[in-house]
Amino acid sequence: MRTCTRIAVIGVGNEFRRDDGVGWAVVERLRKRAEGGWLPSDTVFATCDGDPGRLIALWESAALAVVVDAAHAHPGTPGRVHRLELDAGRIDGPRSTSSHGLGLGEAVELARVLDLLPEHLVVYAVEGTDGSFGTGLSPAVAASVDPLVTAVEDELARYQDKLAGGRS
């Protein structure tokens, strides 16, 4: 059995496809806020285009991986955030909820089969409205960034508390 303490926070998407850059925006804000050193030194903040191999490499051997990605829902509510916990499981739902050719669901399934899932995986999926070329998030998605940063920080704090409680 693997014993890990590493934390990976991964923003998935493309910062040059408007709302698809929400994961990158959240990670950038988290990086700046984490400069105070409140997280363990082995915490990794990364961005990724959604390629399953790259995602797996980023979360492999992590005790906790938090992924933020844009999602498409029909009908959708731009800016609405969905939180999914995936402990060695599968993502239930349609296979094409990502703007990437292969999505997060395929990465999770491949990692599960290869026994490369992190011990605990939390996904924050943000419903987007504008996937056109360009930079800048739509107003509804931009409004979700600060609450998402807080939600991810809370996720990391809960993990830290769990570790501290487990050492007693």
Over the chain (168 residues), the average pLDDT of each successive run of 10 is 74 94 96 81 90 90 93 86 75 44 71 81 93 95 96 91 71
pLDDT value for 12: 95
pLDDT value for 161: 85
* Helix segments in the chain, DSSP class H: 22-34, 52-59, 104-113, 139-166
**Exposed/middle/buried for 32, CB within 10 Å: 0-12, 13-18, 19+?**
exposed
Separation between Cα atoms, residue 60 and residue 117, nearest integer Å? 6
Measured CA distances, 54 to 6, 121, 132 (Å): 17, 16, 24
Residues in a beta bridge with 101: none
- Token pair listed for 131: 């996937």
Predicted TM-score (pTM) of this structure = 0.84
Separation between Cα atoms, residue 10 and residue 54, nearest integer Å? 11
Homologous superfamily in CATH for domain 7-166: HybD-like (3.40.50.1450)
pLDDT value for 89: 52
Contact indicator for 12, 71 with CB cutoff of 8 Å: no
User: Which residues, 6+ apart, have CB-to-CB distance to 124 below 8 Å?
Assistant: 26, 66, 67, 68, 69, 81, 82, 83, 148, 151, 152
Residues in a beta bridge with 125: 69, 82
Separation between Cα atoms, residue 28 and residue 25, nearest integer Å? 5
